[in-house]
Amino acid sequence: MPGTASSATFRWPVRVYYEDTDAGGVVYYANYLKFFERARTEWLRELGFEQEDLRRRYGLVFAVRRACVDYLTPARFDDRLVVTASIARSGRAGLDFLQEAIRAVDARHCARGEMSIVCLRLDDWRPARMPRELLEAIAR
């Protein structure tokens, strides 16, 4: 199922599976980080970039440098969520994202996060400039 980008916000549908929940049937808090990661990966794919290709072609990977999440309303087993990703700041070697997990049925915000992502060189794990093509795609 494709994501959608509108007003610079990428949206990715996520269904809550049993494995995403705790004993009470509520999404386990750490799984929101997985949902956010999926949305960023699909956003990148929508721009025309695969993470494995960036690794092989440029020797670059992305890593989370900082994650701050507020948990607002519990999502539960079988809920449909819309997970968003929008860029708050774009630099040469990193991106700051604002992300949300929103319950589709009633538009209740379940979690809101701020993620700082850094581009790293595989050979020394130091910050590196993102490829020009990617920076141009982000700027569009």
Q: Are the C-beta atoms of residues 38 and 99 closer than 8 Å to each other?
A: no
Q: Give the strand order in the sheet containing 9-15.
A: 4-6, 9-15, 80-90, 94-103, 109-121, 60-71
User: DSSP character for 130?
Assistant: P
Which tokens is 62 given? 């992305």
Task: Exactly one of 20, 22, 70, 106 is catalytic; name it.
Answer: 22
Decide if 123 is catalytic. Answer: no
Phi, psi of 91 (to 5 degrees): -120, -175
Residue positions annotated with a catalytic role = 22
